[in-house]
Structures are given as structure tokens and as C-alpha cells.
A and B are shown apart, each in its own frame.
Chain A
């Protein structure tokens, strides 16, 4: 049974909106051309494919289903749990919980404890993990060969999956010609091959090892990092959803009507942007915390509360970040309203709102486009910083910020616990780098001043 959270619904609405606007954009030559240019760049295409994979993970994690699950393998008792489709895919990762820290690919726990060896003498050793490398008899000698064997199997499966995909897409054995048809196709397919190899090798190994180790309570770090993808995507995308309507409406109105409308709108954005954004966000989140603490009856479960806080964070980030785009749009509208075609429309007696909608809005859309993609990566990074100051997402939400925050203290341990930090670093870097490279390609394609 479906049990969607508010953020799930919003994210699917957003995707629906994106698909619709992509459909309409593809029908018009003037919007199709820059996009075609963006996808002719190799870097743009490759980063787009990587982003799509992240998006897929986030979407799978956004379909929540109510399920009954037994409390422990032996007991008959069942409880109702809300799981996402991603959780179900990652069942081995989710359920194979160790006692405490363990290093990546390790078969032994991080913490040593006293145990009895075969002859009844108590010894001080790190115990074997209950899941990681549990199938090996002598982990130290066998682990290298075992990992190599499984990785090779994963590689082969990945290549096979790619070949099948190619045959299906090309509708026949004429694969080489199919790949080489365009730069876009070639880059996209080879990037996909790389990603498939990573995914299949990982899938082959996760059942037997904790690839990125386990955290303090023994939860698999890879699972945490994958769950955090959704949080990052939501912060990066829903925030723009909040910000766009405000920025576009106010920016166009200020630039088009000028006079007192312009003065009022300029006053609002100068005031808002004069407050250091971190402080404004902190103040708003603190107040929301007070409100939530005093009205606990509004939220029926921890998950709902955490979800509300995530959405709230998006709204607050959106309300504090529209000023930059608004200023840009105002300046551009001021320029466009003096153009001949707008003057002509005015002389013909076209209604003002129609002029705004039909003549001005389409001509500032490239600025909106560029801002949206550029802001995305900044927002993902901002989440980590805000979570570090405790004004980000709820501590119970999986997020890279929360992972870094808890990993900070682990750096002081001896031997050092580095894997939580490394995992959040790899995932965050992957997503943000892809987003930045894609943003660059989009900006080059949409910016009328670029000459390439």
C-alpha cells in the first residue's frame, strides 16, 4: 500500500512539470537549439547521465510503501513499517546490521572484546562480523581472491547488461553504427557503461561485504550514503520550486511597471538580501523548532516530522534565495521592454499582462534556466554546512551533512574511522561535480554572449 510523504508528492509533481516543460520546449525551435548545443558537448552529456542515475536513486527512494515486516527472523510478530522502493532493493544492506564500527571490506569488528578461543582461554581480539565476510573461513588469506572473483563477475554482468541494452535500443545487431550516430549517443552510452560496471560490481559485493564499512551502531555506510541522495536532491530542487515563482513575478513586475512598483520591490529585496543568509535561515529554523516543540500533536510520526522539517528547510532556503535572480530578471526586463517588438505590441494595444507573458517571459527564460542549474549544486553543499550548525535537516533524516557531522568526532579515534566521511565525500562530490559540469554546459549553450 502506498504511503507517500508530502515531499514525495512534491518531488513527483516537480518531475511531472519538468517532463511537461521539456515536451513543450522540444516543440519550439528557439528552445530546442540551445539544448541541442548543450548535449553536443561531451562533458555536458556525461554529467547529465550521471545526474539521471542520482535522480533514479532519489525517485526510487521517494515511493514509500507500507509493509508488514517481522521484527526478527525468528519471531512471528509483525509490525507495520513504511519502506521506500529503494529500501526494498537494498534489503541486504538495510538488514545486515553489525554491532558497531567496521572498516570497509573488513571481516572483523573495529572494537576488540574479550572472547573465549577454542581451548577455553579468554583472549582480547576483534570478533568476526555477523555479516561482513561471514562466508569466508580464513578471511585474511581468502578475502583478496574472493573480492577479485566477485568483482570480475560483476564486471562481466555489467558488460552483458550493457550489450543487451544496446541490442534492444538499436533494434538489431547493427550496434556500432547505432553508437556512432552522434556525439550525444556515443558519450551517453559509454558513460552508461561505466556506471553499469560500478553498479553491478557493487551489487555483486554488497551481499557479502560492507563495502564502505559500518557506522557506530553498525549500520551500513553505503546504505546511508544512498539514502542521503534523496535529501540532497530534494533540497536542491524543491528550493528552486519555492524561489522561482517569487523571483519571476517580482522581477518582471519591477522591470516592466517601474515607478512605485519597482521601488517597493527593490526595497523588499534589498532588505532581505542585506541579512546574512545563514543568520536568516538560522533564525527561521530556530523559530520553527520552537513551534514544533510546542505543537507536537501536529505530527503523527517521527518520519512525518522529519519530512516536515525538510520541506520547511526548502521553503526557508527558497524565501531567502530569490533576491539574486529577481535582480537579474528586473535588469533584463528593463532592457527588453524598450525593444521594438514590445513597443509595437504596446502600440497595438495588447494587454500588459499578455505582453509580459508572451513577449517578455520567454526572452528571460534563459536566465532562469541558468540560475536553476547553477543554484542546484550550491544548495546541495549548503545542506551539509547547515546540518553542521544543527539548523539543517532533522538529525533522524539521512543526509550527507548529518553523516559528516557525526564523522567529525570519529576522526579523533585511534585507529581513525575514516569511512563515513569518505562515503559522504564520494557521493557528494559525484553529485555536485556532475551538477556543476552540467550547469557549465547549459550556461555555455544558453548564454547569448558565448561564441562557440
Chain B
């Protein structure tokens, strides 16, 4: 077990290095720092002086991979690749292009993201599973066909519409909750309700269908037939056998997204003005702040890989049939 974890941890490094090199190529090789400076300064006829100035301020004035100007180890260290890319491994994100410390921004903004993401996940999960169980329970009836069509219809609506319609209906017409905004602490509650509700409705179609396939797969197993043959009621079979066994894929499916909850939701956060990491990223994209986008790419893949690792581990914990050696 310990061996396995160690091996998996070692595998994380090459993947992160790959991500690192890829972002480095995207951000510094495809376009030179000079190009970025001109884009940021916004004019085609910017003087070379202004460009150089911009680069010095942000530390982009070093050579890309190899610094001939200095001696010894610092030939490799005094470079953009080392300072801007490798340093990400130590979670040293440096300064954003507008001069703020990215790490402190992230540690501040991840709490609102979590305040939105965790309730969305839990409520969404409960609603999706309940709906999927209902679909299974009424299998073969018109209720099931209606429910399945509803799922496909819900899936076919763009997430943007849910948000716009929800804000308009609940926030503007009914005035039940504020349209957007955020307050720290327990005051956050009234700002969170609407985005959570919209997130749950928007995810219902795809979610319920996914859980339904899980349950369908379980209910075609032999033990379900045996249970029914013993004379157990449908409801009993569903809850005591099918749901229990389907918990394994459900749990592992949740574990993989857990770390990514920190990243927040891009669209929802920016629509509702929640100062989380999602809206942070969107703002950075709109302002073309390359340092922040680069950091978020690295952070995102780091969390994703942690999620994969946790999934593998959770299999061994939940499912006694799986042994890792």
C-alpha cells in the first residue's frame, strides 16, 4: 500500500513537469515576451524602451532557457524558465502582471469558491441520486419516459440561460435573494442560495442520467435477481442492494472532483460577483494577465492529479475486492 502510494506520487512529477513545459512553450515561446509587452501596452508603435521597461518590471527580461551572462549554476537559474516555471513546483506563483502577490490572492479567494462549490456538490448529489432512483423505480412507465425526456431537455439548455433566467426570475421579479454579490461569514448564505439552486437545476439532466446508468448496471446483476426472487419488495431491493453497491462508483466519482472544488466555477462566480478563484481566473483572462493564467493552469492540473490519486486510494478503502500491490 505504502509502496503503491509512493509510486503514484513519483508519477505525479513527470506529469506536472509536462504541464510546466507546455505552459512555458505556450506563454513564452509561441510569443516572445516582447510581443506580450506590445500587446499589454496596447499600441503597435510602442518604443523599445517602454517594452524593455515593462519586461524588467515583471522579470521577463531574462533569457528563456540559458543565461550566458552569468557563471556557474546560475546559467540555468537566472532564466525565465527557472524563475517563472520551475518555481511553480514550490507553489511560488510570484507576482501578477499588475504587481499583486498571486499566492495571497489565491489563499484569500479560495474560501468564497469553497462556500459555493461544497453546497452545490452536496445538494446536487442528493437531488441527482433521488431523481435517478425515481427513474429506476418507475422503470417502463410513462413517468420514466417523461423523466428521461426532461433530462435530455435540461441537458440541451446552455448553462448561461439557467443563470440569466434564474437571476431574472428569483432575483429581479420575485426579489427573494440578491441578484449578485457576496459577504463573508454567515451573511454569505443569502448570496449562495441562488447560485447553488441554479447549479443544481443546470446539472440535473446530465447528473441524473449518469447515476441512472450506474443503477441500471447494478440492477442487472445476479444478486438483484436473487433478492427479488426471495420476495423482497422493489423499494427494498433498490435501497438495500442497488444503492449500496452503486455507492462505490458514486463515491470514487466524487473524490476525483473534490480537489478541483478549490478552483471554483468560472461562469457562475463571475455572473454572481462572488470573489472566488473562478472569477479571479476570468478577470485575469479578460485583463490578459498571463502570470495569473499560468499559475491557475498549474494549480488546476496539480489539483486534478491529486484527485486522481485520491480516487485510486478510495477504491482500496471502499471496495474490498480491489487490492493495490
Report whether B300 and A388 are in contact in the complex, using a CB–CB cutoff of 8 Å: no
Within 8 A of A (CB), among B28-42: 30-31, 35-36, 38-39
In the bound assembly, the distance between CA atoms of A390 and B288 in angstroms comes to 11
Residues of A near B301 (CB, < 8 A) are: 271, 274-276
Q: Which residues of B contact A440 (CB under 8 A)?
A: 152
Partner of A287, one of B31, B297, B304: B31
**14 A-B pairs with C-beta separation under 8 A:** A267-B14, A267-B18, A268-B18, A276-B296, A283-B27, A290-B36, A291-B35, A381-B158, A390-B285, A404-B158, A404-B160, A404-B164, A416-B168, A421-B164
On whether the beta carbons of B14 and A279 are closer than 8 Å, the reply is no
Q: Does B170 contact A (CB under 8 A)?
A: no
Name A335-391 residues within 8 Å CB distance of B. Answer: 377, 381, 384-385, 388-391
Q: Give Cα A428 to B27, complex, Å.
A: 34
Assuming A274-B305, A291-B30, A390-B285, is B158 touching A279 (CB within 8 A)? Answer: no
CB-contact partner of A286 in B152, B161, B285, B296, under 8 A = B285
Contact with A389, one of B158, B167, B282, B308 (Cβ below 8 angstroms): B282
Min CB distance A403 to B, Å, is 11
Q: 1/0 per position for B156-198, CB-CB distance to A under 8 A?
A: 1111110010011000000000000000000000000000000
Q: Is A425 an interface residue (CB 8 A)?
A: yes
Contact B156 A433 (CB under 8 A): yes
Nearest chain A CB to B263's CB is how many angstroms away? 7
**Which of B14, B31, B157, B158 is A290 in contact with, Cβ under 8 Å?**
B31
Rounded to whole Å, the gap between the CB of A45 and the closest CB of chain B is 16
Are B19 and A274 closer than 8 Å at their CB atoms? yes
Say yes or no: A291-B18 contact (C-beta < 8 A), given A283-B293, A381-B159, A425-B161: no
Residues in A with CB closer than 8 Å to B304 are 273-276
Beyond contacts A282-B293, A425-B161: 7 other A-B pairs, Cβ-Cβ < 8 A, are: A274-B15, A283-B27, A291-B31, A385-B158, A385-B160, A391-B285, A411-B164
A286, B293: Cβ atoms under 8 Å? yes
A282 to B278, CA, bound (A): 13
Q: Does A278 contact B (CB under 8 A)?
A: yes
**For the complex, what is the distance from the CA of A272 to the CA of B304, rounded to whole Å?**
11
Partner of A388, one of B36, B155, B267, B290: B267
Beta-carbon contact of A294 and B31 below 8 Å = yes
| Cα A390 to Cα B86 with chains together (Å) | 29
Known A-B contacts A290-B36, A389-B285; the reply to A283 vs B26 at CB < 8 A is yes
Interface residues of A (CB under 8 A from B): 267-268, 270-276, 278-280, 282-284, 286-287, 289-291, 293-294, 377, 381, 384-385, 388-391, 400, 404, 408, 411, 416, 421, 425, 428-429, 432-433, 436-437, 440
A333 to B260, CA, bound (A): 31
Find A275's partner among B35, B286, B300 (CB 8 Å cutoff).
B300
| Residue of chain A at shortest CB distance from B282 | A389
Contact B26 A429 (CB under 8 A): no
Q: From residue B38, how far is it (CB to closest CB) to chain A in Å?
A: 6
Distance in Å: Cβ of A420 to nearest Cβ of chain B: 11
Q: Check A279 against B15 for contact (C-beta < 8 Å).
A: no
Q: Which residues of B contact A377 (CB under 8 A)?
A: 155-156
CB of B50 within 8 Å of the partner chain: no
B254 at the interface (CB under 8 A from A): no
Chain A residues lying within 8 Å of B155, measured Cβ to Cβ, are 377, 436
Determine if B153 is an interface residue (Cβ-Cβ < 8 Å): yes
Is the CB of B23 closer than 8 A to any CB of chain A? yes
- Inside 8 A of A425's CB, which chain B residues have their CB? 157-158, 161
Q: Does B266 sit at the interface, judged by CB under 8 A?
A: yes
Q: Which of B38, B159, B293, B301 has the most CB of A within 10 A?
A: B301
Q: Which 7 A/B pairs are nearest by Cβ-Cβ distance? A: A271-B18, A276-B300, A274-B301, A433-B156, A432-B156, A290-B31, A274-B304
In the complex, what distance in Å separates the CA atom of A428 from the CA atom of B164? 15
Given contacts A270-B15, A276-B301, contact A385 B293 (CB under 8 A): no
A279 touches B18 (CB 8 A): no
Q: Verify if B281 is at the interface (C-beta below 8 Å from A).
A: yes
Decide: A282 near B285, CB < 8 A? Known: A271-B19, A276-B304: yes
Chain B residues whose CB sits within 8 angstroms of the CB of A282 once the complex forms: 281, 285, 293
Q: Once the chains bind, are A437 and B152 in contact (CB under 8 Å)?
A: yes
Which of A267, A268, A272, A274 has the most CB atoms of chain B within a 10 A radius of its CB?
A274
The answer to whether A275 and B38 touch across the interface, beta carbons within 8 angstroms, is: no
Residues in B whose Cβ lies below 8 Å from that of A289: 39, 288
Instruction: Write out the residue numbers on chain A whose beta carbons fall within 8 Å of the beta carbon of B232.
Output: none
